[in-house]
Amino acid sequence: MATITVKKLLKMKQEGDKITMLTAYDASFARLLDQQSVDVILVGDSLGMVMQGHDSTVPVTMDDMVYHTKIVSPMCQYSLLLGDLPFMSCTSPKQAIKNATRLMQEGGAHMVKMEGGEAQIENIAQLTRHGVPVCAHLGLQPQSVHKLGGYFVQGRNQKVADKILNDALLLQDAGADMVLMECVPVSLARKVTQALDVPTIGIGAGRDCDGQVLVLQDMLGISAKAPSFSQDFLTGQSNGIAGAVANFISSVKAQTFPSDAQCFI
């Protein structure tokens, strides 16, 4: 079992120890992240864009997620392993249970992540009732890109901001063990973090979240187009990729990342 557990993440929030999370989709990078003591390794459906070359995460299948989680899993001796439930894989409690079971039994995930707010309440309740740790994903939800019409900051409108906060509370009450917020204003992320008992993870959501996540390739500066909230931790780093990861960890812990320029207001 990994050193980092759901209980440990909760303790980190309570003690103000910032949580670090990076993506990995293969054994080599997963081993490196684990050796550098990244708290959570996320096998994200971002692999559709990073590894498969698609323009969204929508084409990613359940088989894709199980495969990549399975090859990352043996490397996670320290890090908690979080696996994504991809597009249309958790539209009902029955489907959510089936696919979360695959991610954990076949893939070896320790926790599953699902996008969506209030509509996921029953799915999360059923999963947690059966012992499955869940990370909810609010704010910008990449699986909904075709509905949204693009990748935009969410929650600048007061009505939307109120819904994100309300959804976060509802999902926590349903049993969610963690909430990830993507591309939301700093003030909203701070409000949600203060309102929740469970940890929050930010990506483009400011420094006040309980932790930070980046796509590894963005963090290494090798993505075709990195988002504005990311940072290249590799350029100028004498210790290579391991040094870049260590730099990311220390920057998150010291709350120097993200900078004001990497936040939304």
Supply angle C-alpha 189, 163, 264, rounded to 5: 35
Supply angle C-alpha 82, 57, 192, rounded to 5: 55
| Confidence class for position 207, pLDDT limits 50, 70, 90 | very high
Average pLDDT of span 61-81: 98
Model pTM score: 0.98
| Confidence class for position 245, pLDDT limits 50, 70, 90 | very high
Supply angle C-alpha 78, 73, 28, rounded to 5: 85
Distance CA 131, CA 254 (A): 34
Distance CA 190, CA 38 (A): 23
Contact 258, 229 (CB under 8 A): yes
pLDDT at position 2: 87
Q: Is 122 considered catalytic here?
A: no
Specify the CATH superfamily of domain 6-262.
Phosphoenolpyruvate-binding domains (3.20.20.60)
Domains of the chain by residue range: 6-262
Condensed to tens digits (0 to 9), the pLDDT of residues 135-167 reads 999 999 999 999 999 999 999 999 999 999 999
pLDDT at position 85: 98
| Confidence class for position 63, pLDDT limits 50, 70, 90 | very high
Condensed to tens digits (0 to 9), the pLDDT of residues 7-55 reads 999 999 999 999 999 999 999 999 999 999 999 999 999 999 999 999 9
